[in-house]
């Protein structure tokens, strides 16, 4: 199982990934457990989240971040500010 990846993408990278054609997901402030059955990549449009994986890794991300969760990660999401993201699985 890999680590969660977070980076600030360039405009060109976002265009190459075709993020504008990804699905939209929103979530109000709340806390919940999640397990990734497959890889997920997403671009955060707004919000702030702290995630703690079940093996102890802590990551925070927000507006402008490109985030990748590898398959097999189990974690707890703590949505600090309403999140809106564009995402794709696989």
* Residue 61, strand partner residues: 49
- pLDDT over threshold 70, residue 8: yes
5-89: CATH homologous superfamily?
Jelly Rolls (2.60.120.10)
- Over residues 51-72, the pLDDT tens digits come to 999 999 999 999 999 999 999 9
Q: Report the relative pairing of strands 23-27 and 40-53 from DSSP bridges.
A: unpaired
Q: Residue 38 in 3-state DSSP?
A: coil
Q: How far apart are CA 65 and CA 63, in angstroms?
A: 6
Domain positions in the chain are: 5-89
pLDDT for 2: 76
pLDDT for 1: 58
């Amino acid at each position: 199982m890999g680590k969660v990846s977070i980076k600030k993408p360039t405009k060109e990278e976002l265009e190459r990934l075709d993020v504008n054609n990804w699905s939209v997901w929103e979530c109000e402030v709340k806390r919940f457990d999640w397990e990734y059955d497959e890889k997920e990549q997403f671009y955060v449009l707004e919000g702030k989240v702290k995630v703690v994986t079940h093996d102890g890794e802590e990551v925070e991300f927000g507006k402008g971040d490109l985030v990748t969760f590898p398959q097999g990660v189990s974690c707890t999401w703590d949505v600090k500010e309403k999140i809106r993201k564009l995402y794709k699985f696989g």
